[in-house]
Structure 1
Amino acid sequence: MAASEIKGGAGPAAQRTYGNWRRPRTAGLGQLGLAPTLLMLGGLCVVVLAMLASIMLAVALAGLLVLVLAPLTVRDRHGRTLLARMSTRLAWRRSVSTGSNLYRSGPLGRTGHGTCTLPGVAASSVLSEAQDSYGRPFALLTYPHSNHHVITLTCDADGAALVDQSQIDVWVAYWGQWLAGLATEPGLVGVSVTVETAPDSGLRLQHEVHSNLASDAPDLARTMLEQVLDEYPAGSAQISTRVALTYSGAARPGHPRRTVDDMAVDLGNRLPGLTSALSMTGAGAARPMTAVELAEAVRVAYDPAVATLVEEARGAGGSGLTWQDAGPQGAEERWDSYRHDSAWSVTWAMSEAPRGEVLSSVLTSMLVPHPDVARKRITLLYRPHDPASAARIVERDRRDARFRATQTAQGRARDDQALQAAEQSAQEEASGAGVVRFALLATATVATADDLPRAMAATDNLSAPARIALRPVTGSQASAFAACLPIGLVLPLHLTVPASIRDNM
């Protein structure tokens, strides 16, 4: 989706509102996009020419043209065409027949040297560690096939509780400025922000209390602290915020193709500026994750049962977990769910952003913990456009919106509103604003299959106040689960059908 710029409006409480985002649609006739429209016009020309030779041939070609175009005109409530749903179902059946929906690793698995590497689209990833210009170690995740390199930042988000609305507005403004600044980052292809909520084991609190408890403390104080350690972790949640930035090492004009070492030096010099700018957005103190921390986060996501063991090892000096052991030992992808080690998960994708204007707290209901969902991850995916591409995109969107608004004599309210949004986006881009495509993924993880219905119902209830339309990622649960992790996957670059073709359908 193409994200518009922030606009404010003063209400009774002088609260600032945000909106003007829209899903880009190419110019076409009716429900057809640009490519089906061209196909229809070309097919009609062929039918007319065939009538000069044989009426029966022209009728046969016309019937064939209708059969080809019909699946492109029927759309469900999420905007997916019948052709897209049919191709997804066929791809899923082929995956099941070949057994590629099953994954086995470890000593008895099929991975090399008995390792537990990540499955699916992240199987080829390689993790290394380097140091930035401040001397801080950071994890550098590399995807050799696409030559993408990912750095992940962990943030201690401040939260909006007991914070003045004016301060929240400042944070949102700086966040928009930070996103707009990413458009000028050389080689940046994607950004993801992952907010994960999980049960708090209380081990960190125990370690903090025991390490600071005086040997001559009074018995009353000791008793009080023991009660705190027993009662406080019950029902509490641990919230983690991580930002993954994906860079391309491909050759650019004036720059040759870069190796992993070249990217480590380049990104190490940029990290201090990126982390310091994040502190103004409400993200708190941001720092790069080390290789062990990233491996631990991914390992716990695939096997939540080891979360307590990993936290205990971390408190005892470090788990020493490597990337070869970060994946699951077994996983099974189903049509609408994903089983991995000791847990079951379902991942949804946003099919429609909130309509109209919203407040800054629009995602609060989705981010807060829920008792029916053991672990929950909400990931926002961003793809900033450079200034040259942004100018072409907004002008093309404006032309396409004008074409659709003038197709009917009376016009439709949605087309008129889309035209108004496209006009405003073009004006704001001309004033120096950035253009960002964005999407949202939500993953709910539970311990047993019997808990999945409650988790799915809870997610539907949480998305309603946010006014976000979610749909399960059917047939691609494994890839969606991996994309929801803070490992910087850019899914449009891993599609069988290029994104440029899909956007014009």
Structure 2
Amino acid sequence: MTNDNRQPTYGNWRKPVTPGIGRLGMLGTMILMVGLMIVAMVAMISPLSGLVTAVVLGLVLLPLVIQDQHGRNALQSITARVAWWWGRSRGWHLYRSGPLGVTQYGSCRLPGLLAPSRLVEARDAYGRPFALVVVPRTKHYTAVFECNADGAALVDQKQVDTWVAHWGHWLASLGLEPGVVAASVTIETAPDLGHRLAEEVGANIDPGAPELAQAALHEIVRSYPVGSARVSTRVAVTFESLPRPGGKRRDDKEMAREIGMRIPGLTSGLPMTGAGSARPLTADQLAGAVRMAYDPDSQSALEATRGQGACWEDAGPVAAQEQWDHYVHDSGRSITWGMSEAPRGEVLSSVMTGLVAPHQDIARKRVTFLYRPYDPAAAVHIVERDRKDARFRLNGAATAARNQLDVAKSDKSALEEARGAGVTRFTILVTATVRAPEDLPLAAAAVDTLAPPARVRLRRMYGAQAAAFAAALPLGIVLPDHLQVPGAVRDAL
């Protein structure tokens, strides 16, 4: 955070990099070094064979050197395309549930990464019921909070800056929470059908009031929701069942009891961030929210009943089909983008206002900020390693100016961490849902228009629309833990 001309700005986001030569990462650099030694030994025996070996080495390294505008090399793009073709040939892009589907018991289970998930309901330290999303594969437990965000309208800039500061402290505190592996903030905009307003007015209207006043209230109930949007803010915190390396994994009851004791502490810090009052979602409310995401046409029925009767076993779609560039699910069609580059310079606190605000060309829009906090011990190792990697890349002459700036930023990050700041890896997922297939180009154009003012670069999640759609929901899906390639290998590319 900096303060220029009394207007605070924010920046210094850094993407983790590995030391390497040019565009090569650590893995590519090691292949280059070993390959050059092999070429030298072969050339001493036969110059022609050495030349052929050098050409083969160049062809091997070529996919690691060619990169697109989002920083993905050709090897990653080819791997994604081959994986998509393989999954499509096996029918993994299709999903059919319900009485005539292929799922057990004729239920509408969630597809893809959420298929084995289940819901556990317990009570926190205040006696409030809350739902826990359990993902058996990763042994993760996620609690979801509903927030009534105040908004920045008619709020002094000083108050906004205070909210941002408290939000940074809240994220940093997650690194001190035992067992916390991830957190997310989901801001969803959808059409307001007026059910909540009608219930509020109907419950508080006085039968003895003048007829003119009652008629005015009824007219407001009929006309006010037309063209308006409903904004929902949900915060999800994900815990792991293994408290420490070498410890004993805890079962559902133990996790529900421990998380229930910690929920009041987590929610007490959210009002100071501008999120308003926060309360945990119950099983019915969470299942209803997921159901509306997969089937937008069910919004009217679910809101009319306040989500009563919604269950996790029937929260998924009846039919879903994943395409290369979009996702078809029941009555909706969605496109999901992922952030490939954070704002390179300094930005104001209102930089994301347009991206999260409702848009007339998008029926439902969901912007999810995903966070992976690090504990203080890991944070020290990360910033120090980043400093070393930045100084290693400074030796390159072609990009010396940018590398010098990276060194200065890495030094600043290390200094801030030493003063007590937290270190968090984050990304953004944006999902645009429409009703008709002809509306998909309009939604894509709208998101492409909203991204530049937000100073972020978005990339459509080609070949992974179903997984990205699930990760954008406030259910605690940590995508790196579901990938087959280890994280160390991915970072070294």
Tell me if 1:481 matches 2:469: yes
Residue 211 of structure 1, CA deviation:
1.8
Tell me if 1:335 matches 2:324: yes
Q: What secondary structure does 1:184 align onto?
A: coil
Pick one of 403, 421, 424 that aligns with 1:436: 424
Pick one of 402, 409, 412 that aligns with 1:421: 409
Q: Which residue of 2 aligns with 1:355?
A: 344
Residue 181 of structure 1, CA deviation:
0.6
Residue 448 of structure 1, CA deviation:
0.7
Q: For 1:411 and 1:51, how far apart are their aligned partners in 2? A: 32
Q: Identity of paired residues, percent? A: 54
Q: Which residue of 2 aligns with 1:70?
A: 62
Q: Which residue of 2 aligns with 1:381?
A: 370
Residue 209 of structure 1, CA deviation:
1.1
Q: Which residue of 2 aligns with 1:196?
A: 188
Q: For 1:270 and 1:226, how far apart are their aligned partners in 2? A: 43
Q: Residues 361-382 of structure 1, C-alpha deviation per residue, up to 9 Å, x if partnerless?
A: 0100101100000000000000
Q: Which amino acid aligns with 2:465?
A: Q
Q: Which amino acid aligns with 2:303?
A: E
Q: Which amino acid aligns with 2:484?
A: T
Q: Which residue of 2 aligns with 1:8?
A: 2
Structure 2 unmatched runs, 5+: none
| 2:67/2:74 contact within 8 Å kept | yes
| 2:126/2:264 contact within 8 Å kept | yes
Q: What secondary structure does 2:270 align onto?
A: helix
Q: For 1:309 and 1:110, how far apart are their aligned partners in 2? A: 26
Q: Which residue of 1 aligns with 2:121?
A: 129
Residue 165 of structure 1, CA deviation:
0.6
Residue 202 of structure 1, CA deviation:
0.5
Q: Which amino acid aligns with 1:375?
A: R
Q: Which amino acid aligns with 1:121?
A: L
Q: For 1:294 and 1:312, how far apart are their aligned partners in 2? A: 16
Assess, with a 3 A threshold, how the Cα gap between structure 1 residues 411 and 126 changes in structure 2: closer, same or farther.
Answer: closer
Deviates more, 1:411-420 or 1:446-455: 411-420
Residue 232 of structure 1, CA deviation:
0.7
Pick one of 39, 47, 51 that aligns with 2:43: 51
Q: Which residue of 2 aligns with 1:4?
A: none
Q: Which amino acid aligns with 2:217?
A: L
Q: What secondary structure does 1:235 align onto?
A: coil
Q: What secondary structure does 1:287 align onto?
A: strand
Q: For 1:296 and 1:143, how far apart are their aligned partners in 2? A: 19
Q: For 1:406 and 1:66, how far apart are their aligned partners in 2? A: 23
Q: Which residue of 2 aligns with 1:455?
A: 443
Residue 200 of structure 1, CA deviation:
0.1
Q: Residues 184-207 of structure 1, C-alpha deviation per residue, up to 9 Å, x if partnerless?
A: 111111111100000000011111
Q: For 1:485 and 1:78, how far apart are their aligned partners in 2? A: 24
Residue 216 of structure 1, CA deviation:
2.3
Q: Which amino acid aligns with 2:360?
A: P
Q: Residues 422-449 of structure 1, C-alpha deviation per residue, up to 9 Å, x if partnerless?
A: 1100111111111100000000000011
1:406-417 mapped onto 2 (5 Å cutoff): 406-408=395-397, 412-417=400-405
The number of residue pairs the alignment matches comes to: 493
Q: For 2:324 and 2:156, how far apart are their aligned partners in 1? A: 45
Q: For 2:60 and 2:4, how far apart are their aligned partners in 1? A: 50
1:289-300 mapped onto 2 (5 Å cutoff): 289-300=281-292
Q: Which residue of 2 aligns with 1:94?
A: 86
Q: TM-score, normalised by structure 2?
A: 0.98
Q: Which amino acid aligns with 1:99?
A: G
Q: What secondary structure does 2:368 align onto?
A: strand
Q: For 2:155 and 2:243, how far apart are their aligned partners in 1? A: 45
Q: Which residue of 1 aligns with 2:233?
A: 241
1:35-184 mapped onto 2 (5 Å cutoff): 35-184=27-176
Q: For 1:478 and 1:401, how far apart are their aligned partners in 2? A: 36
Q: Which residue of 2 aligns with 1:263?
A: 255
Q: For 1:326 and 1:156, how far apart are their aligned partners in 2? A: 24
Q: For 2:348 and 2:3, how far apart are their aligned partners in 1? A: 10
Q: For 2:441 and 2:412, how far apart are their aligned partners in 1? A: 42
Q: Which amino acid aligns with 1:9?
A: N
Q: For 2:46 and 2:90, how far apart are their aligned partners in 1? A: 45
Q: For 2:66 and 2:361, how far apart are their aligned partners in 1? A: 36
Residue 251 of structure 1, CA deviation:
5.3
Q: Which residue of 1 aligns with 2:479?
A: 491
Residue 411 of structure 1, CA deviation:
5.4
Residue 226 of structure 1, CA deviation:
2.1
1:301-320 mapped onto 2 (5 Å cutoff): 301-314=293-306, 318-320=307-309
Deviates more, 1:19-28 or 1:340-349: 19-28
Q: For 1:9 and 1:504, how far apart are their aligned partners in 2? A: 36
Q: For 2:126 and 2:270, how far apart are their aligned partners in 1? A: 16
Assess, with a 3 A threshold, how the Cα gap between structure 1 residues 190 and 205 changes in structure 2: closer, same or farther.
Answer: same
Q: Which residue of 2 aligns with 1:24?
A: 16
Q: For 1:151 and 1:47, how far apart are their aligned partners in 2? A: 55
| 2:181/2:238 contact within 8 Å kept | yes
Residue 220 of structure 1, CA deviation:
1.2
Q: Which amino acid aligns with 2:486?
A: P
| 2:178/2:243 contact within 8 Å kept | no
Tell me if 1:207 matches 2:199: yes
Residue 253 of structure 1, CA deviation:
4.3
Q: Which amino acid aligns with 2:90?
A: T
Assess, with a 3 A threshold, how the Cα gap between structure 1 residues 411 and 222 changes in structure 2: closer, same or farther.
Answer: closer
Q: What secondary structure does 1:228 align onto?
A: helix
Q: For 1:38 and 1:253, how far apart are their aligned partners in 2? A: 31
Q: For 2:245 and 2:98, how far apart are their aligned partners in 1? A: 43
Q: For 1:411 and 1:156, how far apart are their aligned partners in 2? A: 46
Residue 484 of structure 1, CA deviation:
0.3
Q: What secondary structure does 1:438 align onto?
A: strand
Q: Residues 354-407 of structure 1, C-alpha deviation per residue, up to 9 Å, x if partnerless?
A: 121001001001011000000000000000011111111101111111111122
Pick one of 222, 235, 244 that aligns with 1:230: 222
